[in-house]
Amino acid sequence: MIPVQGVEDQTIAVLGLGRSGKATAAALAAGGAHVIAWDDGNDTRASAEAEGMRIVDLTRDGAWEGVTALITSPGIPHLYPRPHPVIARAYALGVPVDNDIGLFFRSYATADWEGFDRMPRVIAVTGSNGKSTTTALIHHILRECGRPTQMGGNIGTGVLSLEPAHDGEVVVLELSSYQTDLARALTPDVAVFTNLSPDHLDRHGGLGGYFAAKRRLFAEGGPDRAVIGVDEAEGLYLAGQMSMAPADDRVIRVSAGQKLDGPGWSVFARKGFLAEYRKGRQAASIDLRGVKGLPGAHNHQNACAAYAACRAVGLAPREIEAAFHSFAGLPHRSQLVAEIGGVRFVNDSKATNVDAAAKALQAFPRIRWIAGGLAKEGGIAGLLPHLGQVSKAYLIGHSARDFALEIGQIPHEISETMEQAVTRAAAEAEAGDTVLLAPAAASFDQYPNFEKRGEHFTALVEALQGR
């Protein structure tokens, strides 16, 4: 646990008592704060109270006497589409609102660091797609290279549940737009921006607000190094904002499909090869085609971003290359579940939007595509240019019939359920085919989250192996 600094004898309110909320309350108490807490759920409140938390109804005006700050969980809206009533009340009373990410950045460094031989570092990763894989890959590389490291944030351990820093440690954080949007302190040593595509637009008041939330990671604290994907206009803009001159190597530009020219520092992938350029000269090259845990151009972008971040903290190219080959990938993200009779079964349940699904669809030839769920705004019309390798689609869930209309002449059938889709795809697949779960939709019509959807797909495939 990382005790929160600067809160001794203060009354701090915590809103939301899920995993991060409970961890935040404990870290505040460890820092000497008097913690009061609230959650909209009756059962959640009762559970927290049974664990010894002081529950106070923050919807009542009298509850705010002496409160110096409100710490809210990231899933609770603080601005769009409208602030939660408790947060709105904090605003009206002039009570500062923060989240656990802000508390982490103001509390991670301690006086103990004066005795360290090498200062700890923080690498923070944000973006629309690929940030979980990029975060996990950085953490894996550091571990394989013998550097002490922890991973947390939006993946793995909550930030305040991490251990206090060790000498020379590198903490790797995945940060969503929900987390970066509100944090009052954002001071990573290395900040990574993977890419941007429309997502969570209702939460951020549109695409501009969504990008602004991501941009805060770079603008608020000014990282020592910024690793920025420049395949979209927003990334190009951000790289320009962070750079003082064309040769400013505090910015490392990253691309998944174009050679990056210029005198600065760049890392890009083309035709399966990663290249690092500095001052107009090639510094390293890695063949990514044989890295089984990173299939497809989208994963090559993740590899470039992770490579650049690791170079920024002093790792050598050959160390990083060796670690690439032992990376197994993450569950639900282009995860190879099995190969049965020459047919690959790939779980990309995390592909919940059009952009992520498009990247998965471009990673494999001869695809039998399982798609559907709870459609997002705009449907899947944006996928039409990327369906050339789809032999047949098997459509499930609430959006199945709408998706059938949108994909037009692509062979398809309405499968309704995952069981039916996997059974039919497996029966019709031939050696060399890939049965790909890339839903391009949320899971909430049939599953509580994308993980459960991916786990169901995996279980069904494993059952096929047992036949």
List pLDDT tens digits, range 285-320. Answer: 999 988 988 888 889 999 999 999 999 999 999 999
Residue 262, pLDDT score: 87
Q: What is the fold of 11-98?
A: Rossmann fold (3.40.50)
- pLDDT > 70? residue 359: yes
Closest CA to 5 of 69, 88, 79: 69
Residues 6+ apart with CB under 8 A from 405: none
- pLDDT > 80? residue 103: yes
Residue 461, pLDDT score: 97
Q: What is the mean pLDDT of residues 185-210?
A: 93
- For domain 103-324, say whether CATH 3.40.1190.10 is its number: yes
Q: What is the mean pLDDT of residues 233-245?
A: 96
Q: Over the stretch 385-404, which tens digit does the pLDDT of each residue have?
A: 999 999 999 999 999 999 99
Closest CA to 269 of 229, 225, 233: 229
What is the share, in percent, of the chain residues with pLDDT greater than 70? 100
Beta-strand runs (E) in 73-148: 97-98, 121-126
Q: Judge contact between 110 and 164, C-beta under 8 A.
A: yes
CA distances to 129, 133, 241, 351, 361 from 278, rounded to whole Å, are 26, 25, 20, 34, 33
Q: Is 17 helix (H, G, I), strand (E, B) or coil?
A: coil
Q: Over the stretch 55-69, which tens digit does the pLDDT of each residue have?
A: 999 999 899 999 999
Q: Distance between CA atoms of 378 and 201, rounded to whole angstroms?
A: 12
- Residues flagged as binding site: 127-133
Q: Which phi and psi angles does 426 have, rounded to 5°? A: -65, -40
Question: pLDDT band at residue 467, thresholds of 50, 70 and 90?
Answer: low
Residue 363, pLDDT score: 87
- Residues flagged as binding site for ATP: 127-133
Angle at CA of residue 398, ends 396 and 404, nearest 5°: 60
Angle at which helix 317-324 crosses helix 131-144, to 10 degrees, equals 110
Q: Distance between CA atoms of 105 and 295, rounded to whole angstroms?
A: 34
**Could you tell me which CATH number the domain at 335-465 has?**
3.90.190.20
Q: Distance between CA atoms of 87 and 92, rounded to whole angstroms?
A: 9
- pLDDT > 90? residue 207: yes
Residue 198, pLDDT score: 81
Angle at which helix 296-312 crosses helix 131-144, to 10 degrees, equals 50
Residue 257, pLDDT score: 85
Q: Tell me what the pLDDT averaged over the chain comes to.
A: 95
- pLDDT > 90? residue 200: no
Spell out the domain ranges in the chain.
Answer: 11-98, 103-324, 335-465
Question: pLDDT band at residue 347, thresholds of 50, 70 and 90?
Answer: very high
Strand (E) or helix (H) holding 452: helix 450-465
